Every structure is written in structure tokens, then in C-alpha cells.
Amino acid sequence: MKEISVAELKAKMDAGEDFQLIDVRETNEYDYVNIGGQLIPMGEVMGNLDQISTDKEVILHCKSGGRSGAIVNALMSRGYNNVVNLRGGILAWAHEIDPSLPTY
């Protein structure tokens, strides 16, 4: 599974790179804190494959990287070779990039 660090994600954002960021947490988690990704809860991803880009990098994240890692693996098994897991998830983002974000 390909992974990216929060520092690498921040650099991509700052550089204005074209990629899709998907948050696979639940709606209540997203409402509490998010980093601007498109919300597709883990249980809904496979039913919404039409929303996942096939022509650019897709970075998936959750709270700590476990759920998004499972989805990255599931997508890769279906032929998606453009999917990447955010190592450490939003907790790593809050710890390393933006300590003002609430954690849970």
C-alpha cells in the first residue's frame, strides 16, 4: 500500500497540486474536525466508486490511518493504482501540521 505523510500532503496542498482528498470517517467525526476532504464514510465507499477519480492521485484519510488503509487496499484490489493512504490520519495532521485542531 502506498502511503503519504501529513507533511507531504501539506506540501501538495501548498503547491496547489491536483489530487482528490477523501475522508472515510463518519459524518459526526467529519463535522467535529476535518481538513477539507470529500466525505465518503468507509461503509459507503464501495457504493460510490463513481465519485473516486481514476485519472489523478486519490489520498484517503481517517482518524489514524487504519480505516483509510483498509479502503486503499480494497480499492487497489479492484484495480485502482492511484490511491494513497494518509499515514497517521487526521490525528497526525493535528499533531504535526495544525495543533489548533481538536482531537478525539
Total structural domains in the chain? 1
Domain contains 56: yes
Catalytic residue annotation: 62
Instruction: Please report, for residues 4, 93, 101, the alpha-carbon distance to residue 32 in angstroms, rounded to integers and kept in the order given.
Output: 23, 14, 10
Domain contains 47: yes
Look-up of cell digits 473516486: 52
Stretch 90-95: mean pLDDT: 98
CATH number of the domain to which 29 belongs: 3.40.250.10
For 32-56, the pLDDT digits (tens) are 999 999 999 999 999 999 999 999 9
Domain contains 103: no
Count of alpha carbons within 13 angstroms of residue 63, beta-carbon side = 11
Domain contains 73: yes
pLDDT at 7: 98
Q: Check: pTM over 0.75? Answer yes or no.
A: yes
Residue-number span of the structural domain to which 45 is assigned: 3-96
For 49-92, the pLDDT digits (tens) are 999 999 999 999 999 999 999 999 999 999 999 999 999 999 99
